[in-house]
Amino acid sequence: MGIVKSEPEHNIRGVGLLHKAFQILELFSPEQSSWTQVEIGRAADLPRSTVSRLVRYLCARGYLSFHERSGRYTLGFSAIELGRRAQAQLDLAAFAEDVLEDLARRTRETVMLTGFNPAALHVVCLAQIPSQHGVLRVYETVGATFPLYAGASTKPVLAHLPEAVIERVLAGPMPPINPEWTTKPDHLRADIERTRQRGFAVSFEETYPGVAGVGAAILGPDGRPLGSLAVAAPLQRMSEASMEELGRAVAEAAAAVSARLAGDVPKPEQTGA
C-alpha cells in the first residue's frame, strides 16, 4: 500500500461550487440558526452573486428555507431529514442492543445487526451475538461487509430500495460469496418479491457452505432501509418449520427497532445495579 499525498485545498479542481455550498450550510448552528444573504456573504467571504445563486439552488433542493417576512434563511427540511437519517444510522447499534439480546435469547442462534452503506451498496456487520449452542454455531466478524445480492442480512435491504437501484444491482456483476452458489438475476428478482410478501428473507448457503439464515430490514423514519437483523445457523438445525418461526421472530424484532427509530416506542432506560 502506497502513501497518497493530499493535495492542498486550493489546488482541488471541479469542486469549487460544492465547497462554497457547504461553507454556507455550515454557517447554520444553534447559536445562529438564520442568516440574510448579506450576512452569509460576509461570514463565508463570498461574492454577492455567488451567494445569491447558491442559496436559490439550496432552497430549490430543500436544504435552505427562505422566510420572506424577515428576509432570512434557515435550514430546510432536506437538511433536517439528512441529519435525522445520519443520526439514526449512528445510533442504530444503541437503539437495537436490547432487541438483539432478546432475539438471541429467543432463538438461541447467532444473531447479527447490519448497517446499510448506500454509497457502496453493501451492508456491514455492526454487532453480533453468537449462538448458545456450544458445538455447531455460526460466527461472523464485526466489520465484515456483504453485497446486496446474496444473504439473509442483505436481501431485505435490497427489497426496500427504489426500483432503479434494484435494477442496477441486478444488471451488475454478482461474483459469488460462496463459490458453490451463483446468484442469477431472475432468481434474485423472484426472491425480492417473496421477501416483500412475507416480511423477511431466507438464505440457504448463499454466503457460506452449510449455513442458512433469515433476515428482515430495519427502516428509518422515512421508510428507507438503514440495515437489518438476521439469524444464522447450521443447515442441520434449519428445517422449513424452524425457518418460518425464526423469520417471524426476526421480522418482529426488526419492526420493533424501526418503530423505536421513528419515535413510536421509547428505548428502555438503562438502570444501574
Q: Show the cell assigned to 239.
A: 428445517
Q: What is the pLDDT of residue 133?
A: 78
Q: What is the pLDDT of residues 204-241, one digit of tens each?
A: 999 989 899 999 999 988 899 999 999 999 888 888 88
Q: What is the pLDDT of residue 51?
A: 96
Report the alpha-carbon distance of residue 165 to residue 222 in Å, rounded. 17
Q: Is the pLDDT of residue 16 over 90?
A: no
Angle formed by the axes of helices 185-198 and 163-171, nearest 10°: 150
Mean pLDDT of the chain: 87
Give mean pLDDT, residues 162-183: 92
Listed in order, strand segments (DSSP E) in 160-210 are 201-204
Q: Is the pLDDT of residue 13 over 60?
A: no
Using an 8 Å Cβ cutoff, are 153 and 195 in contact?
no
Report the alpha-carbon distance of residue 157 to residue 74 in Å, rounded. 33
Please classify residue 68 by burial: count the beta carbons closer than 10 Å to its beta carbon, then call 0-12 exposed, 13-18 middle and 19+ buried.
Answer: exposed
Q: How many residues does the chain have?
A: 273
Q: Is the pLDDT of residue 263 over 60?
A: yes
Q: What is the pLDDT of residue 150?
A: 94
> Domain-by-domain residue ranges, the chain?
12-75, 84-261
Topology adopted by domain 12-75: Arc Repressor Mutant, subunit A (1.10.10)
Q: Do domains 12-75 and 84-261 have the same CATH topology?
A: no
CB atoms within 10 A of CB 156: 33
Report the alpha-carbon distance of residue 227 to residue 89 in Å, rounded. 8
Report the alpha-carbon distance of residue 24 to residue 26 in Å, rounded. 5
Q: What is the pLDDT of residues 97-144, one digit of tens each?
A: 999 999 999 999 999 999 998 888 999 898 999 988 766 567 677 888
Domain 84-261 falls under CATH 3.40.1030.10: no
Using an 8 Å Cβ cutoff, are 37 and 48 in contact?
yes
Report the alpha-carbon distance of residue 175 to residue 170 in Å, rounded. 12
Query: What percentage of the chain reaches a pLDDT higher than 70?
Result: 87
Report the alpha-carbon distance of residue 63 to residue 79 in Å, rounded. 5
Q: What is the pLDDT of residues 26-71, one digit of tens each?
A: 999 888 999 999 999 999 999 999 999 999 999 999 999 999 999 9
